[in-house]
Amino acid sequence: MRIQRRRLALIVGAAFIFFAGLGAGLGAATLQDVLRGEGGLAFAARVAQLFPSLIDVRETGDIPSAGDLKPLSTFWEVREQIKRNFVHALSEEEEKELTYGALRGMLAALKDPYTRFMTAEEYGVFQTDTKGEFEGIGAQLWAVMDEKTGEQQIVVLSLIEGGPAADTDLKPKDIIIKVDGHSIKGLPIAAVAKRIRGKRDTKVMLTVVREGLDKPKDIEVTRERVEMPVVEYRMLQDKIGYVWLQTFNRQAEEKTRAAIADLEKQGMRGLILDLTGNTGGLLDMAIKVASVFVSGDNIVWIEERGRRARKLPSEGEPIDSDLPLAVLISHTSASASEILAGAIQDFGRGTIVGQKSFGKAKVQTVIPLNDGSALAVTTANYLTPKKRSVDQHGITPDRIIPEPPNAKDISVDELHEQQLQATVKIIKQKLAAAASASAAPVGG
């Protein structure tokens, strides 16, 4: 008890000194303003070093201890030294970039490619993407790692049909190395997208490297208003419906249901759901689209830190469960696509065909910050309905369609068409089997 009283006295004494110092030195400034400022944070960190036994609360797990605050104090110390001693005075914009660079470095230390910092401009691009409309060139980009150099490359994944880039010489698999003559080496994909996008009727010059060309090629594109093709659909031979879901933005469920309803009116007998090139999107949309095909209380399981896995149920009525279904996936089918494919596979609702998917089973929470920027931080892992983890493993198709020997020599569109025709054959087999079963005599 005596030790506790002494500790309490020390706390009260330290608090008195702290607040008295604030009141005398800062006048009209509020305590909240001080603690938000650089000086307040640095001072609080130093108080932690002077009175470590007062602030050490390791038992709580989520509250920083005095030891945890040492790097924070060092950060502010380095920042102040740069501001005082750098060869020229930093402008307000340079100070902001200094802080943003430190944030990016801090997040990079987590070694999680999906946790990232977004400036206000990058966050605006992100929000636009989820709505499905933007002003730009109409090309979907993909960040890949060069196996030889270990460096990131920004590759053109596909061109949006009807978009301005589709009318130029830009091609899928082109590697972008410059935008308007400036190198993009080392830039995150969001920053590259920001440079490429811009007001309609303005021009942007892309410098690309392409297999088969001796030197980089410059391609000029005039920006226009582009609408992301969330869903493309049509009726194939033998009344086989085809729906290509290309992203999980806010329109995904509505447009998927509308496409299927139209195909049903045309007499659809079987359905191919194409997820090739679909790199994901919103978690809630993945659940809503999965609910178009399956029903249950465990469409996906979410594992968060310090909590038991919790299941998320379906939302809405599924389509006819007797309709033969095949889901086509590829190496670039990721995240929300894998939630959807995993649910259909685990519920036994359809046949997954194609190639093993990308293997991203992490959920990001986007946290808006005070200056309009945002933090996307990985906050959970997801599991399929049977609690399978696909992270780094991907979804393995029930029927693998191998790439042809000349895959490197043909275009992405040609390769996709070959995969689709192989899937059509699988649906035809399903239809033939169903017809045979219904025609079989019943004994009495």
**Which residues are the active-site residues?**
335, 346, 360
Q: Which residues of 406-444 are buried (b: 16+ CB within 10 A; e: fewer)?
A: eeeeeebeebbeebbebbbebbbebbeeeeeeeeeeeee
Going by C-alpha positions, the residue among 153, 129, 132 that lies closest to residue 143 is: 153
Which pairing describes strands 133-136 and 224-227: parallel, antiparallel, or unpaired?
Answer: antiparallel
The answer to whether 280 touches 361, Cβ cutoff 8 Å, is no
Going by C-alpha positions, the residue among 407, 401, 391 that lies closest to residue 423 is: 401
CA-CA-CA-CA torsion sign (31, 34, 36, 41): negative
In sequence order, what are the residues at sequence separation of 6 or more whose Cβ sits closer than 8 angstroms to the Cβ of residue 304?
A: 310, 379, 380
Say how many C-beta atoms besides its own lie within 10 A of residue 253's C-beta.
22
SS3 content of the chain, % helix, strand, coil (to 5): 40, 25, 35
Phi then psi dihedrals of residue 75, to 5 deg: -60, -50
- DSSP letter, residue 362: E
CA–CA dist 399, 423 (Å, integer): 9
* Residue 236 tokens, joined: 């194939």
Going by C-alpha positions, the residue among 406, 395, 426 that lies closest to residue 275 is: 395
CA–CA dist 361, 340 (Å, integer): 12
CA–CA dist 233, 236 (Å, integer): 9
Beta strands in 350-390 (DSSP E): 351-354, 362-368, 374-383
Strand partners, 364: 378
Beta strands in 116-252 (DSSP E): 116-118, 133-136, 139-145, 152-159, 175-179, 182-183, 203-209, 217-222, 224-227, 231-235, 240-245
Which pairing describes strands 240-245 and 116-118: parallel, antiparallel, or unpaired?
Answer: unpaired
Helix (H) or strand (E) holding 72: helix 66-85
